[in-house]
């Protein structure tokens, strides 16, 4: 058994499965709010992050629940968009726990040579940051390179430009 601590999820690799448990980050929110209050900048900081104060509060809540959001996005994308480069998401318990098959780690050289969707991202001109070129976010499964980390808002925007992720996250009946 191997446990890996990602930014948004703890991942337990056991047998041929990867169990992805969302991390809740209330401390992140509390510390940020404390820091902004001490700086006397809470209003400005919230407005920077969410355009308005309520928008900023929503942003902080989303940061706290980011692992759940990533898990829910992955389940939604696997069910409704399904691409050969996605590691299958077999099961999701309300985004708190997701299960994927376990893949084999790959090297940067392998990813550079066989990246499964970079041309598609570049074609639509979306900036997805360094996550999409980080080999740790990919595995080999069934002989192919697949993404194990495809639930980000940016990726969701590319694959489902007609749906807002907030819609998915708040309407629990969606999937």
Residues 84-123, mask of contacts with ligand ATP (x by CB under 6 A): ---x------------x-xx--------------------
Q: What are phi and psi of 101, to 5 degrees?
A: -65, 155
Token reading at 26: 């209330």
Q: Is 137 in the site for Mg ion (CB under 5 A)?
A: yes
Q: Considering CB under 6 A, how many residues would be counted as binding ligand ATP?
A: 18
Q: Which of 147, 149, 156, 165 binds Mg ion (CB under 5 A)?
A: 149
Q: Which of 19, 69, 115, 149 binds ligand ATP (CB under 6 A)?
A: 149
Spatial neighbors of 112 by CB under 8 A, at least 6 apart, are none
Contact 158, 124 (CB under 8 A): yes
According to the binding rule CB under 5 A, does residue 98 interact with Mg ion?
Answer: no
What count of Cα atoms within 13 Å lies in the side-chain half-sphere of residue 1? Answer: 6
Exactly one of 8, 71, 73, 92 binds ligand ATP (CB under 6 A); that residue is 8
Q: How far apart are the C-alpha atoms of 156 and 142, rounded to whole Å?
A: 24
Mapped onto helix, strand or coil, the DSSP state of residue 22 is strand
Q: Which is nearer to Mg ion, 71 or 137 (CB)?
A: 137
CB burial of residue 69 (10 Å; 0-12, 13-18, 19+): buried
Which residues would be at the binding site for ligand ATP (CB under 6 A)?
A: 4, 6-9, 11, 13, 18, 70, 87, 100, 102-103, 136-137, 139, 148-149
Write out the residues near Mg ion by the rule CB under 5 A: 6, 137, 149
């Amino acid at each position: 058994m191997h446990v890996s601590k990602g930014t948004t999820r703890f991942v337990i690799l056991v047998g041929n499965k990867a169990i992805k448990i969302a991390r809740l980050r209330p401390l992140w929110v509390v510390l940020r709010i404390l820091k902004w209050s001490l700086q006397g900048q809470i209003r400005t900081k919230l407005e920077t992050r969410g355009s308005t104060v309520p928008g900023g509060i929503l942003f902080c809540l989303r940061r706290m629940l980011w692992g759940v959001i990533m898990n829910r996005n992955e389940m939604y994308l696997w069910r409704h968009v399904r691409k050969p480069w996605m590691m299958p998401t077999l099961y999701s318990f309300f985004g708190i726990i997701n299960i994927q098959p376990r893949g084999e780690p790959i090297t940067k050289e392998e990813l550079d040579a066989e990246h499964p969707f970079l041309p598609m991202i570049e074609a639509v001109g979306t900036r997805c940051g360094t996550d999409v070129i980080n080999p740790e976010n990919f595995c080999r499964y069934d002989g192919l390179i697949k993404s194990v980390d495809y639930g980000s808002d940016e990726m969701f925007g590319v694959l489902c430009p007609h749906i807002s992720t907030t819609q998915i996250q708040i309407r629990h009946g969606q999937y």
